[in-house]
Amino acid sequence: MYKSYYPKAAEIERDWVVVDAAGENLGRLATKIAALLLGKHKPTFTPGVPMGDNVIVINAKHVTVTGKKMDEKVYYHHSHYPGGLKAVTLRDQLKTHSDRVIHSAVWGMLPHNKMGRALLKRLKVYAGSEHPHGVQVDKE
């Protein structure tokens, strides 16, 4: 009988990965980031075990989309007051809060449970090319 390998907490190695979003399509970039956060690129991947890496995304404001998504894709949120529905197009969201665009795209590709919320905390998104995680990235 074969035994399944289940990694222990001390055996899990987490690296810091920097992803440049300049010129990348939003959906394809989000799938790569989600796979890195889940740890699917590692040979010891086990579903249900958070073994992924910490991901830093730079140049989020330079992400691209195809078709008419720039004007037709809309992000909604509600203030929980009557008439409090707010709508922002992708073009406006990229101008003001470009980190939220990648954040929400990656969240849509992660499990919507406690593990997915924990994985999303390991994602750091920055609009420009500067990030404050130089010490962690330079360790390798």
Give residue 140's pLDDT: 54
State the pLDDT at residue 7: 86
Q: Does residue 138 sit within a domain?
A: no
Residue 125 falls inside a structural domain: yes
Domain that includes residue 81, residue range: 15-129
The string of DSSP codes covering 82-116 is TT-EEEEEHHHHHHH-HHHHHHHHHHTTS-SSHHH
Mean pLDDT by 10 residues, the chain (140 residues): 82 93 96 96 89 95 96 97 97 96 97 96 95 77
The answer to whether residue 6 sits within a structural domain is no
Token couple for 110? 């992660």
